[in-house]
Structure 1
Amino acid sequence: MEVHKSIKAPGITIQVDPLPARPANFSGGVGRFNISATLDKNDVKAGDPINIRVVVGGIGNLKLLKQPVLNLPKDFDQYDAKITDKTKLTQNGVEGNMVYDFLAVPRNQGKYTIPSVEFTYYDTKTNAYRTIKTQPFTLTVEQGDGSDGSSSANYSNADKDIHALKLGKSKLCDIDDMFYGSFGYWTSLMVPLIAFIGLLIAFRRRAIENADIVKMRSNKANKIATKRLKKARTLMLARKQGEFYDEVLRALWGYVSYKLNMPVEQLSRENIQDKLLAHSVDADTIEKFTQALDECEFERYAPGDPAGNMNKTFDSAMTAIMEIENAIKAARKQGKKTSARQGDYTFGVVLLLIFMGFSLSASAVTKQNADTEYTKGNYQQAIKDYEDLLKNGVSPEVYYNLGNAYYRTDNITKAVLAYERAHLLSPGDEDINFNLQFARSKTIDKITPVSEMFFVTWYKALVNFTSVDNWAKTGILSIILALVLVLVYLFAPQLLLRKVGFFGGILFFVVFLLSSLFAYQQKQILVNRTGAIIVAPTVNVKKTPSRQSADQFVIHEGTRVDITDRSMDGWRGIHLADGRDGWIETKQLEEI
């Protein structure tokens, strides 16, 4: 059963006191205010537009203020101001900023002073009228090219909106948990180095073997001895006794000459015995060889059956050569087994390092639900989902999408903060950089950075071309290619390939050094973070860390500053890109 009741709130009596006699330049403002101004250019050409931004901020009747008066030199054409309302209703009343953008065009060259902009209001704290003013500006106007710059004074971007979401999965990790400097990184550097050393040893051994004339003669000895013994057998069957014994002697002496790399003039029984002992041939085998020599010379003149004597000599020569060959091969195999064991150990170490350094990350957290809420237009829910994801780790893609969601809710300050954090993690991402600049263009303060040498700007752009881990991976790939090209230079047979290996190796080694340097510098930026975003609507920057200190200048929400001093509790020393310094309360900023 429904019951209808009429209710009535009690009335409130408000006493409105009249303001004291108003000065002629009274703005109509009642409350507590501050004023600031910025000039987008200090040097222009005649005919080019300039933008003077005047910001009145504070607490009071901001929406009812009269537009500040900008008194420009007579050589300037001035256009109507663009007014942007950045106020909001809080428990203190109407709070925020009113932004006035004045567009002007200087017509003649020269040096001009743009005077201060005055603002008179009634201060409710002191119950008195107060006049505040901005700092004056000095503008240098150079001779123009005759074109009318005012017609092109359009500050809209070619892209008129932020770039779209980054869809798909995203890996979350701790901000200090990076591949560069990790165990996996050092393992990835050591494995190619160890493999390079192993390949260098193997290729060098092969090259030495190919260039070793002694070894080539040794390998050829058996073939020559076999060829001559075949000829001796043919002579034996033809019963050519004299030629047979000569050929057997040539086979024996030639065999040891090639096998032991002994010139003909050094061939003697004593030298042969010493050489064979040095090649680990046992004494019995050496004795059989010398007996074969003696038997060959003796049987030539021995009485009896010539065929039987030749057959006996042939068998003795064959046996002696075969046993020497087997003894030398056995000694070589023993040496190779030792080397192989060392090689197997090295290979095992490499495999161990590979498996120790190999890891897979299966902790990929999906952001599909948050992306879905964003595409449906439920931006507040998307913000909550993205922030919940970021409690488990950081991700440039999630911060980027969070910035988009904040931008859609017109929270430019939070959007800039999210984009700055995404930029810190992925400085080379084009979408992040565009949206960051786009959001900055919506903030109140237009800070003109201090000019720097062009090569410094280029170097910073190169360092920020990609992330710290991508630079680390580029360095690893470069050192691998450099080591491969070094091997090409050392062992390639063609001169052209050796030149490619030499210069390519140097090039990729330089790339490795630069990549490592850039990765190190980016890691230092991540570890020693100094950036912060102003989150209070209006901030009076103090000269010293005290509320009673004199005001230096005024900055507004969304402006980026760098923290220079954390030593005072509740205060932070800050530095702006245009060179200004001061102190603000910790609660007025949020670190990136």
Structure 2
Amino acid sequence: MTLRIWVLCVALFTFSLGISQNTQLFAQATEQYNKGEYTKAIESYEQILQNGLHSAELYFNLANCHYKLNAIGPSIYFYEKALLLKPNDAEIKNNLKYAQNMRLDAVEEMPQTEIGKAYASIVNLFSFDGWAYLSVFLMIFFVFCYLAYYFLRNASHKRIAFVTSIFSMILGVIAVLLAYLQYQEFKSNNPAIVFAKEVKITSEPNENSEAVFILHEGTKVNVLDDLNDWRKIRLADGQTGWLRNEHVKLLKDF
């Protein structure tokens, strides 16, 4: 028992030490950014990443630093990663648009139906983690309202508690469903950002294959398949092709 307590104390101390170190690094990086020392700020933020901490704020600040250095690929890459964690953050979306304006490629997305747009806006309102947390909260609220219904004596109060409990349970089930749909969508998409200044997209995964189109740094693609050192990608407009692994960087690598 004594040994277990000692191990727990060491683990807690290490955890608190890590939080303290990351907090200091974040403050240091922010100060470097405010001084215009963007390269140093990037090094500090990346050290936090190496410590195992990932957050929308961290990726957002990294993106801002790269944007200030006119690094198109890295800035878009980190804005997109921040957006994965906070899909409805207006500031991230706004800065991402500025960074995307620096790209050479203008890829038009395939048109969606009104029903498809409505579905996407609802499902993407939160990440699948967000929907899951909301469902847990609603289920707890359901239990609380049901207990209130059981213990209250006033008839009108009991009626309100009962209706509220049923309503919260239905919303909780819907939140679970939306979390599942969002998770399935998250798994089905494997987005990446082109990091090469210019890369030929070929029809087959080999150097001798015909080039079907050319992409430039910062363009977002969806990875469909892997074969040896090659990746098959699809653009938002439906075009597909192959490129070597080193020319793209996956967004969902955390």
TM over 0.5: yes
Query: Does structure 1 residue 368 correspond to structure 2 residue 27?
Result: yes
Specify the SS of the correspondent of 2:57.
helix
Question: Aligned letter for 1:397?
Answer: E
Aligned equivalent of 2:162: 502
Question: Aligned letter for 1:384?
Answer: E
Alignment of structure 1 residues 11-30 onto 2, 5 Å = none
Q: Distance in 2 between matches of 1:464 and 1:445?
A: 26
How many residues are paired up?
232
Q: Distance in 2 between matches of 1:389 and 1:528?
A: 29
Higher share in strand: 1
RMSD value over aligned CA atoms?
2.3
Distance 1:383 1:526, change over 3 A: farther
Aligned equivalent of 1:565: 225
Query: Does structure 1 residue 588 correspond to structure 2 residue 247?
Result: yes
Aligned equivalent of 2:210: 550
Q: CA deviation at 1:560?
A: 0.3
Specify the SS of the correspondent of 1:536.
coil
Q: Distance in 2 between matches of 1:585 and 1:391?
A: 26
Specify the SS of the correspondent of 1:480.
helix
Aligned equivalent of 2:7: none
Specify the SS of the correspondent of 2:36.
coil
Q: CA deviation at 1:517?
A: 3.1
Q: Deviations over 1:455-475 (max 9, x none)?
A: 332332333333444333322
Aligned equivalent of 1:438: 98
Q: Distance in 2 between matches of 1:480 and 1:432?
A: 32
Q: CA deviation at 1:581?
A: 1.1
Distance 1:441 1:499, change over 3 A: farther
Aligned equivalent of 1:450: 110
Q: Distance in 2 between matches of 1:544 and 1:374?
A: 43
Aligned equivalent of 1:186: none
Q: Distance in 1 between matches of 2:153 and 2:113?
A: 48
Aligned equivalent of 2:238: 579
Structure showing greater relative contact order (alpha-carbon pairs closer than 8 Å, 6 or more residues apart): 2
Higher share in helix: 2
Query: Does structure 1 residue 423 correspond to structure 2 residue 67?
Result: no
Alignment of structure 1 residues 69-84 onto 2, 5 Å = none
Q: Distance in 2 between matches of 1:506 and 1:574?
A: 46
Aligned equivalent of 1:464: 124
TM-score (norm 1): 0.37
Specify the SS of the correspondent of 2:157.
helix
Q: CA deviation at 1:506?
A: 2.2
Question: Aligned letter for 1:588?
Answer: H
Aligned equivalent of 1:389: 48
Alignment of structure 1 residues 51-66 onto 2, 5 Å = none
Q: Distance in 1 between matches of 2:162 and 2:112?
A: 37
Q: Distance in 2 between matches of 1:489 and 1:453?
A: 44
Q: Distance in 2 between matches of 1:508 and 1:465?
A: 19
Q: CA deviation at 1:571?
A: 0.6
Distance 1:427 1:554, change over 3 A: same
Q: CA deviation at 1:558?
A: 0.5
Question: Aligned letter for 2:136?
Answer: I
Specify the SS of the correspondent of 1:549.
coil
Q: CA deviation at 1:428?
A: 2.5
Q: CA deviation at 1:555?
A: 1.8
Specify the SS of the correspondent of 2:130.
helix
Distance 1:392 1:438, change over 3 A: same
Aligned equivalent of 2:63: 403
Q: Distance in 1 between matches of 2:98 and 2:178?
A: 27
Distance 1:415 1:451, change over 3 A: same
Contact 1:427/1:464, CA 8 A, preserved across alignment? yes
Contact 1:543/1:552, CA 8 A, preserved across alignment? yes
Q: Deviations over 1:27-74 (max 9, x none)?
A: xxxxxxxxxxxxxxxxxxxxxxxxxxxxxxxxxxxxxxxxxxxxxxxx
Q: Distance in 1 between matches of 2:133 and 2:180?
A: 13
Q: Indicate which of 13, 37, 40 corresponds to 1:378.
A: 37
Query: Does structure 1 residue 481 correspond to structure 2 residue 156?
Result: no
Q: CA deviation at 1:408?
A: 0.2
Q: CA deviation at 1:401?
A: 0.2
Specify the SS of the correspondent of 1:544.
coil
Q: CA deviation at 1:529?
A: 6.1
Question: Aligned letter for 1:455?
Answer: I
Aligned equivalent of 2:73: 413
Contact 1:424/1:526, CA 8 A, preserved across alignment? no
Question: Aligned letter for 1:376?
Answer: K
Contact 1:428/1:467, CA 8 A, preserved across alignment? no
Distance 1:551 1:407, change over 3 A: same
Specify the SS of the correspondent of 2:199.
strand
